[in-house]
Amino acid sequence: MKKWIAVDWGTTNFRAFLMQGKDCIDRCAQGPGLLQIEQGNFEQELLRLLQPWFDVAPYPVVMAGMVGSQQGWHEVPYVEAPCTFSSLTEQAYAFTTRWSSPIWIIPGVRCYSPYQQPDVMRGEEVQLAGLSAINGPGEYQVILPGTHSKHVLMDNQSISHFSTYMTGELFALLSQHSILGRALPPQEDSLEVFNSAIEVAQRKTPLSHQLFSARTYRLNKEIAEQHIHSYLSGLLIGAELATCTSTQSIWCVGSTKLTENYSRAAKYLGINLHTIDGDECFIRGISHLYQHIAGEKQ
């Protein structure tokens, strides 16, 4: 089986997988995100990061993520949802490096969300392709937690529509750069406080008002200072999951660290949530897409 390279190159992270057929035989998870790379330096940075692999052969490379954005290596236009996974390979951007490695960048997807707002994703579409390859055809509700959490409806191996929630970014901003997180002691997880915030988030109260309660509960000494992060996390994830129903079966795709609090919140709310590893889905998904690319190339 021929070797090739899969790359997930995002805004702040770089991950690469040396593949032999569908099997991952090596990986590199240490590298700069695109915000740390000057425009025009992507090719030399890829060579620097993966030099030991390219010293063996000019392996083909399939890339996904923000590397295909306006700030990335090459901008690749979004595919409009609803879309099949084969349409992603048909509209992949192809070029060749100076050391003769063929490269394809998978396009992202855009749609109008169920709330009639324009929405986009880059990188998550590969994980969705992997989830579909693992589970087979069917209709799936999917959550991909992260800086910008995605809620996706998949139907018969296609992406129907999705919506984005800035849950991770809001948590970082509020806990690190707002009065809510100022002068806090080292934080400790509290399931009790987390669940209480989940409960608060289910009320029909404006989220910006709920968030300020992290300060007032602290001032009133109703929440210990070392549990403020648990409270903020519960409010934000609880508000996000308020869009879900307990009758749905939902897949949650991500690392254990990312999915842990979603699993806790779902359990408290009675939502049937199944977690699956994000790397596993990415590898299966990009392998599936590479098969199509290799077939088209031949």
Cis peptide before 82 (omega within 30 of 0): yes
pLDDT digits (tens, 9 = 90+) for 145-202: 999 999 999 998 899 999 999 999 999 999 999 999 999 999 999 999 999 999 999 9
* Per-residue confidence (pLDDT) for residue 289, from 0 to 100: 96
**All domains of the chain, ordered by start, with CATH?**
3-136+282-294 (3.30.420.300)
- Helices 191-201, 207-219: axis angle to 10 degrees equals 140
CA pseudo-torsion sign 96, 97, 102, 104: negative
Q: Which structure tokens are listed for 174?
A: 């509020």
On whether the CB atoms of residues 248 and 90 are closer than 8 A, the answer is no
What phi and psi values does residue 41 have, to the nearest 5 degrees? -105, 10
Its pTM stands at 0.93
pLDDT digits (tens, 9 = 90+) for 61-97: 999 999 999 999 999 999 999 999 999 999 999 999 9
Q: Which of 117, 114, 98, 94 is nearest to 106 (CA)?
A: 94
Q: Band of the pLDDT at 30, cuts 50, 70, 90?
A: confident
CA–CA separation, 260 and 252 (whole Å): 10
CA–CA separation, 293 and 134 (whole Å): 19
CB hemisphere CA count around 27 (13 angstroms): 11
